[in-house]
Homo-oligomer: A and B are copies of this chain.
Amino acid sequence: MVRRPVAQYGGTGLPLERRERRQPFAEPGSAGRERKAARDVRAEVHPSATVYPGTVLGEGVKVLENAVVGKQPSLSPRSTAKREPLPPARLGDGTIVSTGAIVFAGTTVGARVILGDQSCIRERVVVGDDVVIGRGSLVENDTTIGALTRIQAEAYITAYSTLEDNVFIAPCVVTTNDNYMGRTEKRHAEMRGPTIRRGARVGGGAILCPAVEIGEEAFVGAGAVVTKDVPPRTVVVGNPARVLREVPDEELLENQ
């Protein structure tokens, strides 16, 4: 997804100055071209941002005020585990990490992605190209987000979720992954976030119970509480959510 990583941070995790770096494969002797190349590969890191060593920033990446990129998860003070550090975060060309946003190590973000202000992407997440993650939203660990998916503001995407391409998550959507809320041993085996298929849309403030599947091109109404799978191209509403009708032709992806 990050096809041409061109910059790798070797710093200390302290705030960094804005840097210009030369494209490593720029042709020597072609000064004009070199200058252009250099301009292309510039990543802009605001002086108040923190980018950890090893982080890979694609061409034209911007890291805005107070953003933190490549942070390792904190080991719980009760944990006795010795965890290996995660590999560096990787951000594709043209991606923007907005003000106060956080990207953990071990995560790969595609090209032309916007990570909104004050958002947070945990470790081992894979984010496709042209994704938008809204302001204040959280994407938990071990989640996959397909290309062109849009997650609006203040949404919560739980760990172990799968969102395919062209999904639309409205503001303040809530997802869950544990029917036992921290009890029983079997919960560890059963813990699973939602699977949201290609082109599905989930309305504002809707709540998805653990492990539900939202079918292709399905539509979950605002405020619905989804307790079981939603068939493809189906509109559901209410608490608990029930089927209302079919998604009209004009709203299908292929007709946009």
Taking beta carbons and an 8 Å cutoff, which residues of A are in contact with B? 14-15, 47-48, 50, 60, 62, 64-66, 68, 71, 74, 76-78, 94-96, 98-100, 102, 111-114, 117-118, 120, 130, 135-136, 138, 140, 150, 153-154, 156, 158, 168, 170-172, 174-176, 180-184, 201, 203-205, 207, 209, 219, 222-223, 225, 237-240, 250-253, 256
Contact = CB atoms under 8 A, between A and B. Distances in A.
B77 A251 contact: no
A14 B201 CA distance: 40
21 contacts: A48-B66, A50-B66, A65-B68, A66-B66, A66-B68, A74-B96, A74-B114, A77-B113, A78-B112, A118-B118, A154-B154, A170-B176, A171-B175, A183-B251, A184-B250, A184-B256, A204-B207, A204-B209, A205-B207, A207-B222, A223-B225
A219 to B, nearest CB: 7
- Interface-central residue, A219, A225, A239, A253, by most chain B CB under 10 Å: A225
Contact of A74 (B76, B98, B168): B98
Contact of A239 (B60, B111, B223): B223
Contacts of A156: 153-154, 171-172, 204
Contacts of A223: 174, 207, 225, 239
A114 B77 contact: yes
Given A96-B74, A135-B138, A251 B180 contact: yes
A253 B175 CA distance: 25
Contact of A64 (B14, B74, B100, B113): B74
Contact of A77 (B98, B112, B118, B174): B112
A238 B176 CA distance: 16
Contacts of A203: 176, 181
A68 B47 CA distance: 13
A182 B168 contact: yes
Contact of A222 (B48, B77, B225): B225
Given A68-B66, A205-B205, A120 B95 contact: no
